[in-house]
Chain A
Amino acid sequence: MKGSVAVVGGGIAGIQAALDLADSGFKTYLIESRPSIGGVMSQLDKTFPTNDCAMCILSPKLVEIGRHPNIELLSYSDVKSISGEAGDFKVKVVKKARYVDEAKCTGCGSCTEKCPSKVLDEYNAGMSKRKSIYIPFAQAIPRVATIDAAHCLYLTKGKCGVCKKVCGPKAVDYEMKDKEIELDVGSVILATGFKPFDPSLLKQYRFDHPDVITSLQFERLLSASGPTQGHVTRQSDGKVPKRIAFIQCVGSRNPRIDRKHCSSVCCMYATKESIIAKEHDPELDITIFHIDIRAFGKNFEEFYNRAQEEYGIRYINSRPPETIVDARNNLSLRYEDFDSGELKTEAFDMVILSIGLDPSDSTRDLAQSSGIALDDFGNIATGIEKPVETSISGVYVCGAAQGPKDIPDTVAQASAAAAKAAALLSKERGTMIKEREFPDEKPLLPEPRIGVFVCHCGINIGSVVNVPDVVEYAKTLPDVAYAREMLYACSSDSQVTIKDAIEKNNLNRVVVASCTPRTHEPLFQNTCREAGLNPYLFELANIREHCSWVHMKEKEKATEKAKGIVQMAVAKSALFQPLYKQKVPLINKALVLGGGVAGMTAALDIADNGYEVTLIEKEKELGGMLKHTTELYDGKKPSDVLDVLTCRVYENNRIRVLNEARLTKVEGYLGNFKGIILSKGEEVPVDFGAAVVATGARNFEPVGLFNYGKDAHVITQAQLERMLGEGISANNTTMIQCVGARNKDREYCGRTCCIDAVKNAVRIKRANSKSSVYVLYRDMRTYGVMERLYEDARELGVIFIKYTRDPEVQYGSVVVHDSMLNEDIEIASDLVVLSTPLVAGENEVINQLFKIPLDKNGFFLEAHPKLRPVDFATDGVFLCGSAQAPKLMSEAISQASAAASRACTILSREFIETEGAVSVVDEARCIGCGTCVAVCPYNAPSLQEVTVTSEEVSYIAKKSRINPAACKGCGSCAAACPVGAITAQHFSSKEIGEAIDAFNKDIGLIEPKTGTVEAVV
């Protein structure tokens, strides 16, 4: 068995899985076929429903992958095959020739600038040009160039060769060949993603017309980093469009082209793109043509409502059959308005095709080469109770490779897959990872001796900024003991040079003037550490991104500015003090709240990872809502799933179950919590390092709605579910959707109600084909592969009627207004079933205990709706299942495993390492006002009673103390403290103050330092 995992695919799914595994002590190979990781998410402008900037939230994860000591990134590499068995797999990988040596390339971009050959840029979905030697996008990881062999003039015709000539570090290698390697790993995670549907397959939509573009192309048009810097213009004439139409379900919900699935995300991305476009240009007129609007996720319905009410986006319930192009090349759409039954034609300036998600080619190829089963849709097959397990034991799947899904569901599955792989290999945890070792730190002399290294970055800095001049200037600055220039400060030979300079000149502060600390600080910090310097004694002066690249035509002024930037960095660094990440011991045990399917899954996964778990359940028995379910969506019996789970929980000797129990008290922080559980009248103390909240939700009781409670023939979908266990006698069943949901009182969509209704309608029809079943709905939201259930239901003769006005329930019948026929229909009904949403349980107690927030509907609020779906902002506490928002069983299980994975990234540590640059309180100055406590979002400061002795008088006073384990180093408290008692270390008032003073010093007026300067260049 091997303590290593191969993650195939470097999109957001693969990235999350790799980070979780690497953080839990496993060597991880991340294999991506493209030159950079990031996947489709890197191409998105914003993400729904919060309109967060996609790159802003993704880019830190990309950097983390690039830097993680346990992750080996194999970019531009294809997986050929997977063989072997759980614990011992062999993965064949072909490292494609990128014709650039990754170890030598510094990513400076000189080659790209000079390359004469231009090709369509796939990052901008073919709407702009890139060079044949290129870095796909600004934040690409790895940040190295790749030669497009199909277009490179040298590789195709033997001419040119300019990139090799201009490459300073000599990284270009035209002789490079593809290389096959074999990885030995214990487990494999498939995160092969999806392929955007190719709309040229549907000729009627006229994708050949320049103003008919895909939603992904439109996304690039909206992006500030896109081909038009975020200005939406027509491809045909560059004009600003006034009327834009979206056509939904292009390549989805279309059996004729064998795309039966719903792609799950298109309704929301079309809504998002419309909102952003309207924000750019409020005059824009946008229409979305759709079948159903599937706004089923957390806060999606609210987003959809805002799009209509605040932004005036028009939604038309119709699917235009074609895009009409007239003789003058103008576009129009003809459609039947299902709401009114009218046939209309409208002209548009641009038509956006909301393309669906197809299984990717690599999913298909890998399934074929390695014998992994696919489902009917071409996705990797899984069971609903095992949503991340493939047909091969030890090979797991996550993200869109398993079926269309949005980013949070993808991220949850990625963590879930990581939990499973980690559980399988838990005995090998930590065996294949390496910790970097550094020499002991040298004692710090009281006098600062600063070394300044100014980088040319090839010609990137040197062609604009007069680097030797900056070096000479640096030598005149106070405390500077050494200064020199460097061609590429980041190259590996430069690290040796810097290290030697530190040692020879006894330097104790280092300033490198080159590029951005966001990518390069860790590299130079490690160089300092190798020379025996504390990493916090280092400062980067950014004279590339913030100077030479943005003042290319003002060389003299840029040089003056570079001097100023260096001067500020030097002034600040003189005050730097060594800082240390504190190691705090932790309790390697978990607490899981809630014994439903989510809680049990989380408990089992954590136990399988090797850690003890206390699982508490408020009821007598485990099982939660699944106890009341009589059939699963795939026809399985819930008891088969439930019995297995409960049995495994009770038999697992690492799990302690407390029934009829609730948590009454919690104190502590990440890694060190102490709590009290009240179980059957007894108080049980519990210590834990991490907690998982899986407290579920409850069914909404529609008291007073549609005669519920008055008429015994009116029941809820949950009641029907139970009754169907025995079978029902009704001949005419009518279901009403959205009862108590998507209204003013409860704005959200219940997510599962449509699928539950369709499932039960199918059951009734299958039991008695002669009985009639009507489903009255607003939008059928059978998303993803659940679309098949909807199709089955229609085939079996279930009748679906869309309503816009509430139906009326009478004794023995339901009256509904059919908008297509424009008349009221009376449906004889001996059973009326109300589909109601799940509503939040009693979450307030836990919300108070852990200080974890609730959303406006009373569900728990995750740390980030996209990339941290199972985390809380409070470290060490995680979330899963319907406690976060309503969800399907398979989704709750994925989330539960994800929460377990996230918890294991903490439990697997030997100690908790705090941030180094945390804030500290000077107790003598603290007046105990509590401002810092109020301002901190992480509960790091707390007021404590301290005995103060002053002039022989002792008294008790409240003083603030900051817990370094909880502090994130934002410095907000230091700025808020009215008496200046808090120091934000590394960004202290003194350090920043010196930098401010240095900013204002006139560069010309500084007198050259006299005396001995041992500067050697």
Chain B
Amino acid sequence: MTENVTEFEPDILAFCCNWCSYAGADLAGVSRFQYPPTVKILRVMCSSRVEPVFILRALKDGADGVLVAGCHIGDCHYIDGNKNAEVRINNTKKALAKLGLDKRLRLEWISASEGARFSEVIRDFTEEIKKLGQNPIKEVKIDE
């Protein structure tokens, strides 16, 4: 156990669609837009692949935040997959609200050219999660 209080660093899982958001994250890298190392990206082909269960599983296991990122509406590589994602993620958010976890889930549209925006979103989400503190489920686990 360490006594000195280090600042809480959140763990964020980001589901990025292959065609826009993942490419946006790539561009952030190519452009060297720095952001905190709080996020790890899981690539899916389309934001509509993300099941509510994935989000619950990540939160249950202790992720402090979950980001789902897809193409802007109208730009979806699969015509309108992102519209399905929007409905699904918003419903998941509603369900999470009852558990007080809704602020830990975010849906963002990030295009392949928005490298700066990707890093901005990560910085912003990291700050928000820092304010919320650690995922309470994680603490429950530690207590056990």
Interface residues of A (CB under 8 A from B): 45, 50, 52-56, 59-60, 138, 223-225, 229-230, 516-518, 542, 544-547, 549-554, 557-558, 560-561, 564-565, 568, 873, 917, 935, 937, 968-972, 974-976, 984, 987, 989, 992-993, 995-997, 999-1000
Contacts and interface: CB of A to CB of B under 8 A. Distances in A.
B45 A987 contact: yes
A227 B29 CA distance: 17
A993 B35 CA distance: 26
B20 interface: yes
Nearest to A853: B79
A937 B40 contact: no
B88 A975 contact: yes
Given A138-B27, A546-B40, A999-B58, 14 more contacts: A50-B74, A56-B71, A223-B113, A224-B115, A542-B26, A545-B29, A551-B35, A561-B40, A968-B78, A970-B46, A971-B49, A987-B44, A987-B49, A992-B54
Nearest to B122: A550
A932 to B, nearest CB: 11
A935 B86 CA distance: 13
A55 B37 contact: no
Given A225-B113, A975-B88, A989-B51, A554 B27 contact: no
A224 B117 contact: yes
B41 interface: yes
Contacts of B20: 56
A546 B51 CA distance: 23
Which 3 residue pairs are nearest across A and B when measured between Cβ atoms? A545-B29, A971-B49, A1000-B61
Contact of A550 (B13, B28, B57): B28
Contacts of B78: 937, 968, 970, 972
A549 B32 CA distance: 5
Nearest to A984: B49
Contacts of B74: 50, 52
A66 to B, nearest CB: 15
Contacts of A564: 40
B46 A999 contact: no
A997 B113 CA distance: 31
Given A550-B32, A550-B33, A552-B32, A999 B11 contact: yes
Q: Which of A45, A516, A547, A976 counts the most chain B CB atoms within 10 A?
A: A516
Contact of B37 (A230, A557, A968): A557
Given A224-B117, A969-B45, A996-B57, A565 B40 contact: yes
A518 B26 contact: yes
B23 interface: yes
Given A225-B27, A971-B49, A999-B11, A993 B57 contact: yes
B113 A56 contact: yes
Contacts of B77: 970
Given A56-B113, A550-B32, A970-B81, A545 B26 contact: yes
Nearest to A544: B29
B13 to A, nearest CB: 5
A923 B40 CA distance: 35
Interface string B10-27: 010100001110110111
A597 B26 CA distance: 46
Given A45-B113, A56-B20, A138-B30, A546 B41 contact: yes
A561 B23 contact: no
A517 B115 contact: no
A195 B118 CA distance: 34
A992 B16 CA distance: 13
A516 B44 CA distance: 13
Given A989-B53, A1000-B62, A56 B112 contact: yes
Interface of B: 9, 11, 13, 18-20, 22-23, 25-37, 40-46, 48-51, 53-54, 57-58, 61-63, 71-72, 74-75, 77-81, 84, 88, 111-117, 119
Contact of A56 (B19, B28, B58): B19
24 contacts: A56-B71, A138-B27, A224-B113, A230-B116, A542-B41, A545-B28, A546-B25, A546-B29, A550-B32, A550-B35, A568-B42, A917-B45, A935-B48, A937-B79, A969-B45, A970-B45, A970-B46, A974-B51, A975-B50, A992-B44, A993-B54, A993-B57, A996-B57, A999-B63
A550 B26 contact: no
Given A56-B20, A999-B40, A551 B34 contact: yes
B87 to A, nearest CB: 10
A231 to B, nearest CB: 10
Nearest to B112: A56
A230 B29 CA distance: 17
Q: Which of B35, B37, B53, B62 counts the most chain A CB atoms within 10 A?
A: B37
A972 B46 CA distance: 7
Contact of A996 (B27, B42, B116): B42
A85 B115 CA distance: 48
A516 B111 CA distance: 16
Q: Which of B49, B74, B116 counts the most chain A CB atoms within 10 A?
A: B49
Contacts of A558: 37
Contacts of B42: 568, 992, 995-996, 999
Nearest to B55: A996
B61 A997 contact: yes
A813 B33 CA distance: 67
Nearest to B78: A970
A564 B39 CA distance: 10
A553 B48 contact: no
B58 A996 contact: yes
A968 B76 CA distance: 13
A225 B79 CA distance: 25
A765 to B, nearest CB: 46
A56 B42 CA distance: 20
B80 A937 contact: yes
Contacts of A229: 116
Contact of A53 (B22, B26, B31, B75): B75
A576 to B, nearest CB: 14
Contacts of B9: 557
Contacts of A1000: 11, 13, 58, 61-63
Contacts of B45: 917, 969-971, 984, 987
B23 A547 contact: no
Contacts of B37: 547, 550-551, 554, 557-558, 560-561
Contact of B81 (A225, A518, A972): A972
A553 B33 CA distance: 12
A547 B27 CA distance: 12
A492 B8 CA distance: 43
Given A545-B25, A873-B79, A225 B31 contact: yes
Nearest to A109: B30
Contact of B84 (A223, A546, A935): A935
Q: Which of A544, A547, A554, A970 counts the most chain B CB atoms within 10 A?
A: A970
Q: Which of A59, A224, A553 counts the most chain B CB atoms within 10 A?
A: A224
Contacts of B13: 996, 999-1000
A225 B115 contact: yes
Contacts of B63: 996, 999-1000
Nearest to A936: B78
Contacts of A542: 26, 41
A229 B120 CA distance: 12
B143 to A, nearest CB: 16
Contacts of B119: 550
B113 A53 contact: yes
Contacts of A975: 48-51, 84, 88
Nearest to B135: A1000
Nearest to A231: B116
A60 B113 CA distance: 13
A975 B82 CA distance: 12
Contacts of B44: 971, 987, 992
Contacts of B28: 545, 550
B75 A970 contact: no
Contact of B75 (A52, A516, A989): A52
Contacts of B113: 45, 53-56, 223-225
